Structure formats: C-alpha cells, structure tokens
Amino acid sequence: MSWLFYALLSAVFAAATAILAKIGVQGVPSNLATAIRTAVILVFAWGIVFATGERRALMNLSLKTITFLVLSGIATGLSWLAYFRALQLGPASRVAPVDKLSLALTIVLSVLVLKEQVTWKLLAGVGLITAGVLVTILK
C-alpha cells in the first residue's frame, strides 16, 4: 500500500482522537489524560514491534537515529500535553484546526531543514491551510 493510504488512515484516526480525547478529558487533569493515552500507545506500539519481529532491528540503531527519535518523542509529548490542555479548555471544532497548523509548519520546516523542494502548489496548500484555520477561529 502507498504512503497516501497510510496518510489518509492517519487522518481518520487523528480525527477520532480529537473527539475521543475531548470526551475523555472531561473532569480529568489534562496531564493525567495525556499520561494514560501515552501508556496505551506505549503498550500498543511495543506489542506491534514484538509481534512483527521488528525488535531485532534495535541493535542496529545508530546514535544519530536514537537521538533524533528521542527528540521527536519529546516534541510529541509536549504536543500532546498542549493538545489535551487545549481540548480541555476549548471546543474540539476549534482546537483541532489550530492543531493542524502543524501541517503548514511541517511544510515550512521540511523546506528549511530537509531542503525539500517548494512548488507553487505546495505554497498554495500552505496558504489555504492557514486561511482555513483563521476562518475557523476568528469570530
């Protein structure tokens, strides 16, 4: 299956995450809710690693790979903590679009850091995403 299939699947699960999390954070401290979610993900992800035999690749990881995966994990954790707090304080219909500004920021960073190519379509997409977020949050 292609990257597009998995990207669309990711979007479906991310949408479900927003709704399920909004319901789940009611009456619970947002950091505790994040910790519970993270524990579930930890068990789930390691279960898949062991079930598929990917654990054998652990010994071949470079220090650079480990460093960047740890940094990515820290960024993810900080993102989730902020996301759950935002969901606790605001409506999911507004929090989720703002969170999706990460799409536009990822594109900008992919150009600056990874030296990926910019096209007019990519720039138009970033502009539309940003405009869409602004439309959803402005009163």
Q: What are the residue ranges of helices labelled H in the chain?
A: 3-24, 30-52, 63-89, 92-99, 101-112, 120-137
What's the whole-model pTM score?
0.82
Q: What is the pLDDT of residues 91-126, one digit of tens each?
A: 998 998 899 899 889 988 999 999 999 899 999 999
Does residue 107 contact residue 125 with C-beta atoms inside 8 Å?
A: yes
Q: What is the pLDDT of residues 34-93, one digit of tens each?
A: 999 999 999 999 999 999 999 999 999 999 999 999 999 999 999 999 999 999 999 998
